[in-house]
Amino acid sequence: MKYIKIHWLHNFKDDPEFIYSAINEEGYEEKKIEIFKRGNYIVYSENINSDRLAEGIYPSLKELTFEEETETMQAFEISEIKFKEIWDRYNSKYMEKKAISFELISNDGENLSSVYFEFNDGYFIICRNLEKDDTIYFEMNDQCNSGYSNDCKYIIENSFLILYFSENISSELKCETTLRISYEMSEQEKEHLQCCLEEIFPLVRQ
């Protein structure tokens, strides 16, 4: 898969300003989001407005990019995690939690690094034994909702930790494929959080 962002500068009332597209290995558009100047948007996928996905092989970045007197279009490739962030934001398929407390452990005496968040209605933990484990352990509210997987990515955005899970691990955790956790931390604590995550996610961070 590859992911494309288009910024279209124009004065047309009925056309979008930003277009985000997911292109499969065969070169066909599978998903698209159009965002208009006033903030409204349209989502397209195989199940939603599929008849308005691009027909045929998706154009190259060079073919999409142009500059004219009345309009300019810039197209460039973006990361999977950036596209998923935009997709989930406008497709509203994410779980959002607010941490009321947290515990951050960086490579303790038993080679364990972990991040623990407590919520009003439960908790979430990520951990990995840096010496013994090649995969990351996740747990949501109960040991019954847990699993080992490296099929996860994360970003830190302002005071949010955003995790993107595969369908398999989200099913095991009984949560959405995107989990957004808000928190209040000092700058030193934020640096500690980043350190812990880099130890836990050595190969899959952004």
The predicted-structure confidence for 83-125, as pLDDT tens digits, reads as follows 988 988 887 667 889 999 999 999 988 899 999 999 998 999 9
The predicted-structure confidence for 40-87, as pLDDT tens digits, reads as follows 788 898 877 788 899 999 999 999 999 999 999 999 999 999 998 898
The β-bridge relationship of strands 2-9 and 72-78 is antiparallel
Secondary structure element (H or E) that encloses residue 144, with its range: strand 142-149
> Residue ranges per domain, the chain?
2-92, 96-200
The predicted-structure confidence for 9-46, as pLDDT tens digits, reads as follows 999 888 999 999 999 999 999 999 999 887 778 889 88
For 145, other C-beta atoms within 10 Å of its C-beta total 16
